[in-house]
Structure 1
Amino acid sequence: MFKFIVLSAVLALTVAEHLQHYISAEGGAEIKSYVSDAHPDGSYQYGYETSNGISVHEQGAGSHQASGGFSYTSPEGHPIQVKYIADEHGFHAEGAHLPVPPPIPDYILKSLEWNAAHPEEEHEYAAGPHAAGPHGLFKH
């Protein structure tokens, strides 16, 4: 039994020594600053910065609105910065590295303008001879 304990201890020390080589530089990051404030009215703010260049901040009012941002350096060495707003309209993030949708084509914009200017011309589609049902496509 004594030999088993000694052998287990030696094996554990050997494995631990080898694991030290696999810890990345990010694993040793320290928190340089930290803020976390919550108020009775539901508003809050929090943020932190680490020694490896990560920065996060957010503030919110009530339960349906938050805004903030974060930054870090990508594995390729590029600075990444994101600002965001989250509210009743959803989550909206901005950052130079994020894709941007193409502009809406003019013919679509004109069509939307025409539809808004002529709401009286919108009709509901009536079921015709090809409608599903007892006299349509699906006869029993």
Structure 2
Amino acid sequence: MIKLTVALLVVGVCFAAPPPAERPPPPKEVVPIVSQQSDAQPDGQYNFAFEGGDGTQQQQTGEVKVVEDKPVISVSGKYSYVDAEGATHSVSYTADETGYHPEGDILPVGPPIPEAIARSLQYIQEHPYVEENTA
């Protein structure tokens, strides 16, 4: 009787256990690297480039510069890829102490600034606020 109870208990635990984790499907295609180069210098300068067999390309150069007595990495580069419809898209960029600045045909473009606001911004720039000393 005890053996039957233990056997039923084991079978019940097996059915109650969650199913084994399913593995993700393997990638459909492995994209080969057609060319690759890189160089890094002790002073912080570097560059790299690669091209994939699917048309993907990337190039980047960087250097360390000093801004206000602090080291800052300055980077410039570009990348491109071919989309599902066969069109090539490219983005070039810089990144430094002022931020990341991309340019490319795939980046969204906001609506133009209304003329009244543009005039207001120009006026503000031409007539900066100067606080008067009232003491």
Instruction: Name which of 44, 47, 50 aligns with 1:48.
Output: 50
Deviations 1:25-75 (CA, angstroms, capped at 9, x unpaired): 3x1x22111111011221100011122211111001114210111111112
Please, what TM-score do these two structures have when normalized by structure 1? 0.62
Q: How many residues align?
A: 100
| Compared CA separation, residues 32 and 118, structure 1 to 2 (3 A) | closer
Where 2:108 maps in the other structure, the secondary structure is coil
Match of 2:41 in 1: 39
CA–CA distance in structure 1, aligned partners of residues 56 and 128 of structure 2: 52
Give 1:118 shift.
4.9
Does residue 99 of structure 2 align to residue 106 of structure 1? no
1:25-104 residue pairs with structure 2 within 5 A? Answer: 25=29, 27=30, 29-62=31-64, 63-104=72-113
Q: Give the letter for the 1:96 counterpart.
A: D
Q: Distance in 2 between matches of 1:30 and 1:23?
A: 13
TM-score (norm 2): 0.64
In structure 2, what is the Cα distance between the partners aligned to 1:115 and 1:71? 39
Q: Which has the higher helix share?
A: 1
The one-letter amino acid of 1:84's match is Y
Alignment of 1:112-127 (within 5 A): 112-116=121-125, 117-120=127-130
- Give the counterpart letter for 2:105 in structure 1: A
Residue segments in structure 1 that go unaligned for 5+ positions in a row: 1-18, 124-140
Of Structure 1 and Structure 2, the greater strand share is in 2
Q: Is 1:24 the equivalent of 2:28? A: yes
Q: Which has the higher contact order (CA 8 A, sep 6+)?
A: 2
SS of equivalent to 1:119: coil
Go from structure 1 to structure 2 and tell me whether the alpha carbon gap of 1:118 and 1:55 turns closer, same or farther (over 3 Å shift).
closer
Structure 2: runs of 5+ lacking an equivalent: 1-24, 65-71
Identity of aligned residues (%): 38
